[in-house]
């Protein structure tokens, strides 16, 4: 009997671990509200995307002087940027977003980022995920603190905060319920239905009340996700997600939004942006990554249709790249960057933020794009105006955001 229990606990723990979430987070999974909610989707471009080739300052002559081989040509040229406002343009592989810009559903915030000057990927990502630049002792993430602040009867359920990633990202770690999963379809117990039934029966019969309750919650949550998967059609007509991990992640975000399981924040990530060597211009390794981003975000908008009125998507990256290309036709770790913002409530068709310029006198340390907008100001505005977060002080401690400082991103 003792051996059976030992094996049960061990295998059961492994089974629950394979779900990608902590069991105690599941208490409210089944009670998730079915009414439509406002949703924020955060996309992390890990590795420091080159914001100057993503959103091209084609109206600044210094850009072309600093990048003789990797610059994106001016609008109207072969492989040229897609003009936004006469000064900025999109990388041509972001064509799906260009139409959204014209329709007022997509905006850019340029020259923004973290005020901390580190050029370490690890530290910069950590600071942006904890929301406390320069402070290494912060234990939880800012997105989790948002969830904790809004935790009441109206805002309950393990499906409130979901990361479509193998592990829970730093920004969602903390006391509030959060769920990480690689795939809705793979949420289950290895071994199929018979194994799952056996585990559920063992949990139901467990003498330990906590263990019994935890098991019941876990299997109830799995049934919820199975129901999500079973609700078809999965994608709307014309929503062509690329067959990539990022495209698949956004497809599942749309699936959760449409299933009405109480989702409030979603997280997805895409790596491969650390382009020190052979970065490329209109084609090449950066172009391939941007193509994935553009096609995936475009498909998400098409898939959600009118439900995009309740959704705001914001991209982020830990820092930008150097203004000048290096000797291996790439770019090195820099400072200021660009954030992409799209959704129904977005006042799109504009490039927000003050442009600092690219001359040597205007650069940081003579090499980097200066930051004129703190990334926390961008998220503060989205959280306050879209999610209705009243008090942002616990979310971004030490950072004082005032409505008077709003960029005007949201209607």
- Per-residue pLDDT of the chain (411 residues), as tens digits, is 443 443 334 444 334 433 444 334 333 443 344 456 899 999 999 999 999 999 999 999 999 999 999 999 999 999 999 999 999 999 999 999 999 999 999 999 999 999 999 999 999 999 999 999 999 999 999 999 999 988 776 777 778 999 999 999 999 999 998 889 888 876 555 555 655 566 566 666 666 665 565 565 556 556 666 666 666 557 899 999 999 999 999 999 999 999 888 899 999 999 999 999 999 999 999 999 999 999 999 999 999 999 999 999 999 999 999 999 999 999 999 999 999 999 999 999 999 999 999 999 999 999 999 999 999 999 999 999 999 998 999 999 999 888 788 999 998
Q: With H, G, I as helix, E, B as strand and everything else as coil, classify residue 113.
A: strand
Q: What is the DSSP string of 50-76?
A: -HHHHEE-TT-HHHHHH-TTTPPPPTT
pLDDT value at position 194? 57
Q: And the tokens for 354?
A: 């003050």
Virtual torsion, Cα 204, 207, 208, 211, nearest 10 deg: -20
405: DSSP letter: G
**Domains in the chain: ranges and CATH:** 35-405 (3.40.720)
Place of tokens 């910069």: 124
Q: CA–CA separation, 269 vs 291, rounded Å?
A: 15
What distance lies between CA 273 and its chain's CA centroid? 15
327: DSSP letter: T
Q: Are 172 and 20 in contact (CB under 8 A)?
A: no
Q: pTM of this prediction?
A: 0.85
289: Cα within 13 Å, side-chain hemisphere: 22
Q: CA–CA separation, 296 vs 7, rounded Å?
A: 43
């Amino acid at each position: 009997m003792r051996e059976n229990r030992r094996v049960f606990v061990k295998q059961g723990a492994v089974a629950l671990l394979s779900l990608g979430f902590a069991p105690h987070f599941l208490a409210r999974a089944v009670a998730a509200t079915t009414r439509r909610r406002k949703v924020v989707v955060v996309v992390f471009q890990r590795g420091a995307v080159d914001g100057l080739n993503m959103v091209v300052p084609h109206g600044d002559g210094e850009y072309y002087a600093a990048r003789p081989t990797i610059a994106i040509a001016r609008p109207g040229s072969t492989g040229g940027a897609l003009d936004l406002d006469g000064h900025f343009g999109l990388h041509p592989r972001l064509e799906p977003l260009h139409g959204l810009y014209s329709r007022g559903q997509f905006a850019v915030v340029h020259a923004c980022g973290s005020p901390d000057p580190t050029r370490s990927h690890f530290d910069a990502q950590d600071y942006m995920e904890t929301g406390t630049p320069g402070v290494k002792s912060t234990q939880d993430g800012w997105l989790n603190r948002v969830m904790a602040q809004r935790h009441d009867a109206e805002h309950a359920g393990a499906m409130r905060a979901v990361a479509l990633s193998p592990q829970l990202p730093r920004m969602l770690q903390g006391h509030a319920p959060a769920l990480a999963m690689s795939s809705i379809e793979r949420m289950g117990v290895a071994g199929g239905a018979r194994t799952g039934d056996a585990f559920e029966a063992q949990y139901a019969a467990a003498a330990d009340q906590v263990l019994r309750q935890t098991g019941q919650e876990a299997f109830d949550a799995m049934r919820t996700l199975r129901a999500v998967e079973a609700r078809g059609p999965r994608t709307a007509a014309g929503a062509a997600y690329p067959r990539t991990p990022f495209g698949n992640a956004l497809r599942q975000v749309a699936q959760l939004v449409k299933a009405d399981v109480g989702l409030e924040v979603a997280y997805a990530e895409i790596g491969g942006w650390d382009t020190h060597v052979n970065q490329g211009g209109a084609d090449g390794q950066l172009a391939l990554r941007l193509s994935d981003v553009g096609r995936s975000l475009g498909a998400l908008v098409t898939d959600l249709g009118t439900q995009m009125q309740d959704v705001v998507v914001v991209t982020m990256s830990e820092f930008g790249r150097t203004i000048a290309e290096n000797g291996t036709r790439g770019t090195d770790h820099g400072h200021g960057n660009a954030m992409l913002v799209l959704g129904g409530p977005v006042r799109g068709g504009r490039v927000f933020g003050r442009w600092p310029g690219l001359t040597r006198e205007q650069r940081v340390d003579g090499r980097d794009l200066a930051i004129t907008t703190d990334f926390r100001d961008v998220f503060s505005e989205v959280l306050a105006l879209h999610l209705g977060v009243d008090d942002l002080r616990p979310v971004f401690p030490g950072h004082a955001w005032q409505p008077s400082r709003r960029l005007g991103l949201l209607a």
